Structure 1
Amino acid sequence: MNNAFDPSKLDGLPPATKGRIKRRSRALGPAYRLFYQQPVEVCRAQGVLLYDSDGNEYLDAYNNVVSVGHCHPKIIAAVHQQMQTLCTHTRYLQDGILDYAEDLLSTFGGKLSASGHAMFTCTGSEANDLALRIAMHHTGKRGIIITHEAYHGNSHLTASISPSLGDNSPLGTWVRQIPAPDAYRLPKEGLGQWMAGQVQKQIQDLERHGDGLAAFIVDSAFSSDGVYTHPTDLLAPVAEVVHAAGGLFIADEVQSGFGRLGDSLWGYQRHGVAPDIVTMGKPMGNGFPVAGIAILPEVVESFGRAMRYFNTFGGNSVAMAAAQATLNVIRDEGLLENAQSVGRFLKDGLLELAKSHASIGDVRGSGLYLGVEMVQDRSSKQSSPFAATYLVNALRERRVLISASGFDGNSLKIRPPLVFAKAHAERFLNELDGALNDLNKQQ
C-alpha cells in the first residue's frame, strides 16, 4: 500500500504515539493499516481541518468521504432529525428513499434519468459487488476487464478485481487488466482508440478461455492508476467495443462522482458515454455509510425477476436523509462550481511550482482531484517513488495531509473536500513548495 506506516518501525516515535499503535495492534489485529511514517492521531474535525488531542491543526487535502466538509451542520441536522424519527429498512413504504432516488436519478441524464432504477447499499464495495453480480447474471458471462492498478472494493468479489490491493491479493482467473491511459508517456491523440484496442484484446482472450465478457468497469478519473482525467475522449471508443461484445459498461463513480472533477456532477459525463450501471459510495453521505447503483431497467430486469435483493442497512431511513442532505448541500452551496474554480487555481499553482522543481514531471487532474507525478529525470520520465513518499510525509510534518497512487506509487494524490477554498489552496501550495525545497536538499 502506498503511504503506509511500517509497524516494525516504532523506534523514534513519541511514547504516546507508540502506545496507541501497540494498543491498536492488540485490539484490531495485523490487517489494518495506518497512514504516514509518523501516524496522525485525530480527535475532531471541522470543514477542511482536522485536529489532534493537543489541538494541532491539519489541512485535509485528501479526504473525499466528507465531500462537503467534516461535520457539516446540515448533514448533522438531517441525520439527527431522522434518527429521532425513524430508522428502518426498505421493506416498508417510505417517502424519503423515493424522494432521494428520484432526485439522484435526475442528475444522470439520458436513459438513466428517464427510466433507470436506483438500488442502495452501505459501501462502494457493496455497490460494485452488486453491479458485477447483475452484469454476470444479465450477460450469462463472467469476464471482467479493469485497468492495471484499479481499486473497486474489499468484498471477496471486488477484491478479485482490485490489483491495487497488492500482489498478495489474488485476482480472479476471469479478470483481465489493461494499461492505464498514461497521457504523460503516451500520445494524447488517438489514446481512446488505443485504449479500445487494449480492451478488444482482452475480450478476445476472455472468449478464448470460455469466460466471455460480462463488464468493463472503470473509475473515470483513473484514481489508483495515478489520476488521469484528460483527454476526455477515452471512454466512448471503449464503450463501443464493450457493447459490441455483449458486455456492460460500468462507471465506478465512488471516487470521481458527486462533483469531484468540477466539470460535471459525474466523471463519466466528461467522456460523453452512457453507462449501463453507475456505482456510487464514499462521498454520498458525507461520512455516513451510504452507497448504491443506478441501473438501466433492461439490465436489472432478469436479475430482479430471478433474485430478491435486500440489504438490511442499505437505503435505511437515516442513510437516505444523509444522502439527500449531502446532494442538497452540493447544489445549494455551489460546490461543483467551487471545485472547478478552486481546482483551477490549485492546478495553476502546481504548474507554477513545476517550473522551479525539476522533480515534478507532470501535473494533471480536474476540479479538486489532482495528481502530481514525481520523476527522477524529466527527459526519461523515470518514476521517483522516493520523492512522492518523501513529500507525503514531509507535508504531514507540515500538517498537510495527502497521499500517493499510481503503478510505482510516485504520483501525489490531492483530493480535498469540495469546500476547499482559495486560502486553503494557497496554504497547500506554500507548504508543498517548502517540502519540495527540502526534497532538493535530500537528492
Structure 2
Amino acid sequence: MAHKISDEASTSALDTHLIPGSNLAEPVIVSGAGCDVVDEGGNVYLDLEAGPGVNSVGHCHPKVVKAIQDQAGRLLQGPGRNHSRVTSELAARITRESDGRLSRVFFTNSGAESNDGAIKLAFKHASNAGKKGYGVIAMEHSFHGRTSLALSLTGNAARKKGFGPYAALPGVVHVSAPYCYRCPYSSENKNNDGGCGLKCADSIEDAIKVRMQSAPAVLISESILCVGGVLTPPKQYWPRVQEICGKHNITLIIDEVFAGWGRTGKTFGYQHWDLQPDIVTFAKAIGGGVPIGGFMATETLGTAFEEGDHFTTFGSNNQIGMAAGHAVLDILKEEKLAENARICGERFLDGLKRLAEKYEVIGDVRGIGLMLGVELVKNRDTREPYPDLVKAIHAALRERKVLISTTGTYGSTLRITPPLVITSDQVDYALRVFDETFAAVGRI
C-alpha cells in the first residue's frame, strides 16, 4: 500500500529530518499545472521561478506525464551497459538541435554532473592531443553547480566558504565576467553594449600571460550568467572570446544548464551569438520535471573517452528521464515555446523597463527571452546593492501569490524564469503585481 502523505504536521516541523539546503521554505506546494502551483491551503500562485528553470513546458504537462506513465510500465532503468533505442534516439534528436555539429551525447543526472563530465572529457582530449597543460579558465560571478569540481569552477567566493579545499581544484583561473552594469573597466558603461572596449574578454589573454601556471586547455562559461545575476553579454563579447580560444587552441565549453531548451527564444543561449562551442552542457528543462542532464560534443571530442573512462549509474539508463526528454522536445516544437519565450520575454522586459522609470531602486533590467533579471540598488549613482530590499520584495510578492527567485553575487537581483508556457495575460498580471509590490514596499 502506498504511503499516505500527512497534511497535519505544522510547517515548522517539515524540516526536522532534512539536512538544511535551499528548499526549505514556505509555502508547502502540493500540485501544479502550467504556470500555476497550489499550496496545502488551496492558494494558487503564479510561478515565475519554475523549478528553478526546470519546468519549461509547465508543471505536469499532460504529454510529459503520459510519456512517464507509459515508460514506467515498460522499463524504469536499463540493466547496465545494454543499448536502449529510447536513449539513442533522444541523443540523435539532441544533436540535431545543434545543427548536427555536436554529434555525440553523454547523459547525466544534473547540471553539476554534466559540467564535471565536460571538463573531464576536455582534459582527456587535451591529453590525447599532447596539450602541455590542463589550465581551466572560468568566469567571475559564474555558477556551475555545487559538487567539488563544479564549485571550483563557480566564480562566487561566498558559495565556497567553510568547505576548505573541497572547492579548490588546482589550475582554475577566474577572469572578468561581462557584467556591464558593474563593469570593472568603465564606471559609465551600464547599457550592456560593450562600451568598455570588451576589456572583460581581453582579460582572458591577460590571465593566460600572467596567472596561469600551465597551458590553458579549457574555457567554461554560461552563455548568460544566470545565477550570477542574469548577466547578459554585449553583442561583440562571445565572438571575441571564441577568437581567443581558437588562437590558443582552448576547448570552449558552454554551460546551457539554465539557458538551454528555448528559454532565451532560441534552443540554446549561445545561438544568439552564432558560436561554435566544442562542448555544450545541459540539464534542468530537458526533463520537464524529471532529473536528466548531459553534455554533447563534436565528433573529435566526443570520441576522446576510452571504454571505462566515464560512467554513471542512471544517466542514459534512466528510461523515465529519456522518455520525458522525448516528450519535452515534442512539446517545445509543437507549441513553439521558444517563440513564445521570445514574445512574452520582450513583453515582460518592456514592462520591467517601464517600472524602472517609475522606481529609483531599480538600477538595471536585463536578460533575453524568459531569463530576466531586475537589479535593485540603494542609489543609482553609486549603484550600491540593495539585498535587504530584494528579500523584502521577494517576500511581498509571495504574499501576493507570485513566486520568483533572488540571485546575484551581491544578492541584489530578482530573477524571473517562468515556464515557457506563460501567456501574455499572465505577464501583464505579473507586471501589475510587481508594480503594486514596489509601490507598497518602496524602501526599507
TM-score by length of 1: 0.89
Residue equivalent to 1:96: 86
Q: Which residue of 2 aligns with 1:7?
A: none
**Shift in Å, 1:86:** 1.8
SS class of match (1:249): strand
For 2:240, what is the secondary structure of its paired residue? helix
Partner of 2:68: 79
* Contact 2:143 2:227 (C-alpha < 8 Å) held by counterparts: yes
Q: Distance in 2 between matches of 1:247 and 1:41?
A: 46
Contact 2:111–2:145 (CA<8 Å) still a contact in 1? yes
Q: Deviations over 1:211-261 (max 9, x none)?
A: x32211111111122112242321121122123223211010000010101
Task: Flag structure 2 segments of 5+ consecutive residues without an equivalent.
Answer: 1-6, 128-132, 184-188
Structure 2 partner of 1:311: 312
Whole-angstrom distance in 2 between the partners of 1:34 and 1:273: 35
Query: Is residue 2:144 matched to residue 1:139?
Result: no
Unmatched runs of 5 consecutive residues or more in structure 1: 1-15
Matched, 1:181 2:178: yes
Residue 435 of structure 1 corresponds to 437
- Aligned position for 2:354: 352
Could you say which residue in structure 2 is the equivalent of 1:11? none
* CA shift for structure 1 position 120: 0.6
Shift of 1:202: 2.0
Mapping of residues 394-433 of structure 1, within 5 Å: 394-433=396-435
Partners of 1:192 and 1:340 lie apart in 2 by 28
Equivalent position of 1:276 in the other structure: 278
AA in 1 matched with 2:202:
G
Q: State the alpha-carbon separation in 1 of the partners of residues 8 and 341 from structure 2.
A: 35
- What SS does the corresponding residue of 1:425 show, helix, strand or coil? helix
Aligned residue in 2 for 1:201? 206
Q: Does 1:171 align with 2:152?
A: no
Q: 1:351: how far off?
A: 1.0
Deviation at 1:173, TM superposition (A): 3.3
1:162 equivalent in alignment to 2:154: yes
Which residue in the other structure is 1:213 paired with? Answer: 216
CA distance in 1: counterparts of 2:23 and 2:105, whole angstroms: 34
Of 185-194 and 125-134, deviating more is 185-194
RMSD: 2.1
Supply the AA of the counterpart residue of 1:213.
P
Please tell me the residue identity of whatever aligns with 1:102.
A
Distance 1:356 1:268 in 2: 33
SS in 1 for 2:254: strand
CA contact (8 A) 1:227 1:365 kept: yes
User: What SS is found at the alignment partner of 1:383?
Assistant: coil
- How far apart, CA to CA, are the structure 1 residues paired with 2:155 and 2:179? 17
Letter in 1 for 2:84: Q
Alpha-carbon distance in 2 for matches of 1:216, 1:357: 39
Deviations 1:382-420 (A, max 9, x none): 222222121111111111111122221111111001011
Question: How far apart are the structure 1 equivalents of 2:329 and 2:301?
Answer: 26
| Counterparts of 2:224 and 2:172, CA distance in 1 | 21
Aligned-residue offset at 1:206? 4.9
With over 3 angstroms needed to count, the CA separation of the structure-2 counterparts of 1:199 and 1:18, relative to structure 1, is: farther
The count of residues paired between Structure 1 and Structure 2 equals: 416
Does residue 59 of the first structure (1) align with residue 46 of the second (2)? yes
**Higher mean C-alpha deviation, range 176-185 or range 290-299:** 176-185
Aligned with 1:232 (options 226, 231, 235): 235
Contact 1:68 1:417 in 2 (8 A): yes
Match of 2:116 among 123, 129, 145: 129
Quote the Cα distance in structure 2 between the aligned partners of 1:85 and 1:261: 35
**How big is the shift at 1:99?**
1.6
Helix, strand or coil for the counterpart of 2:339?
A: helix
Contact 1:192/1:238 (<8 A) preserved: no
Q: Output aligned runs, 1:368-383, within 5 Å.
A: 368-383=370-385
Q: Give 1:191 shift.
A: 5.3
Residue 29 of structure 1, aligned match among 19, 43, 46: 19
Identity %: 32
